Structures are given as C-alpha cells and as structure tokens.
C-alpha cells in the first residue's frame, strides 16, 4: 500500500540540487500549462499530467519541496506565473502523483453574488490537501480525476486541510 517512506532528509547539498531540479520542472510545467489548457480538453490534459508510474512510497521532504516550489513559482505574479487554483492544483497533482502520493483532483462551480465562480482542489484519502479556501462545501463538483474512483460529495467537499 502506498504511503510515506521513512527516509532521512538528505544532506544540504543533495537537498539544494533536488530543489533546483524540482523547481525547474515546476517552472517548465507552469510555462506550458496555459498552452495545454487552450488546445486540449481537460480529460486530455489530465491524461498527460498523470504519471504512468508512481513511486510506491512518497518522501515527505520531497513533497515539501514540491508544495513550496509550486507556491514560489506561481507567486512570481508576472506574465503567466500567477497563483490560480487551477494552475496550482494541476501542477501539484502531477508532481505529487509522480512522487507517489495518491491524490485526486476535483473541479467545481458555485454561484455567488449572481456570478459563477470556479475552483479546483486536491484530495488525499477523501480529505482536501494543499488548498487555501476555508471550505468548498458550496461548490458543485463538475469533474474529478481519476474519475474511476468512487467518491461521495461529503468526502470531497470536507473542510479538512493537509
């Protein structure tokens, strides 16, 4: 069963090199993601972003680098690098699954003050992770991936974080 791997955090040099490699990959994906979303359907993008092989166990120190790197790169706030929930959840989905964390991504809509609002978020074992919204209870889930997982709305919309 996939889970966290009890592994010592590597020395500072290895960690810095790993950060550089992961940040570079995040930057590259953040750069091409807008193009992918313009020319492909969401299911096609999800198939591309879903790694064919996952690690059996994830390493928490690498997950921390992935989350921090995604926030830093999207936090640049210039050109296409803005911290939208769509970009953040797609990037995290790809890299966390690649690292071995079994996350699912969900897309939802809600009507607020007469306008339609969208949001995307990740879940791990039915609990929301790495999401900034207080709650997604008022969102109607329109698409989840992987879609072959059975889920109930209550677990996806649960207010649990990390």
Residue 89: predicted pLDDT? 97
Asked if residue 162 is part of any domain, the answer here is: no
Asked if residue 146 is part of any domain, the answer here is: yes
Q: Give the pLDDT of the chain (162 residues) as one tens digit per residue.
A: 456 655 667 789 999 999 999 999 999 999 999 999 999 999 999 999 999 877 778 889 999 999 999 999 999 888 888 889 999 999 999 999 999 999 999 999 999 899 999 999 999 998 999 998 888 989 999 999 997 554 455 444 544 444
Asked if residue 43 is part of any domain, the answer here is: yes
Q: pTM value?
A: 0.84
Residue 45: predicted pLDDT? 97
Domain that residue 110 falls in: 6-157
DSSP letter at 36 equals H
- The DSSP-derived string for 80-113 is TB---HHHHHHHHHHHHHHHT--EEEEEEEEEET
Residue 56: predicted pLDDT? 74
Residues shown for the chain = 162
Count of other CB atoms within 10 angstroms of residue 152? 9
Q: How many domains does the chain have?
A: 1
């Amino acid at each position: 069963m996939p889970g966290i791997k009890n592994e010592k955090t590597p020395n500072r040099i290895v960690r810095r090199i790993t950060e550089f490699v992961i940040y570079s990959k995040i930057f590259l994906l953040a750069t091409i993601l807008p193009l992918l979303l313009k020319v492909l359907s969401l299911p096609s993008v999800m198939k591309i972003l879903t790694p064919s092989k996952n690690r059996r166990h994830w390493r928490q120190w690498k997950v921390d680098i992935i989350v921090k790197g995604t926030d830093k790169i999207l936090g640049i706030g210039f050109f296409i690098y803005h911290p939208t929930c769509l970009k953040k959840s797609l990037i995290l989905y790809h890299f966390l699954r690649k690292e071995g964390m079994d996350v699912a991504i969900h897309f939802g809509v809600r009507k607020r003050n007469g306008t339609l609002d969208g949001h995307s978020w990740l879940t791990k074992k039915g609990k929301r992770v790495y999401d900034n919204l207080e709650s997604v209870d008022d969102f109607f889930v329109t698409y989840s991936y992987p879609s072959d997982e059975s889920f109930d709305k209550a677990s996806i919309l649960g207010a649990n974080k990390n």
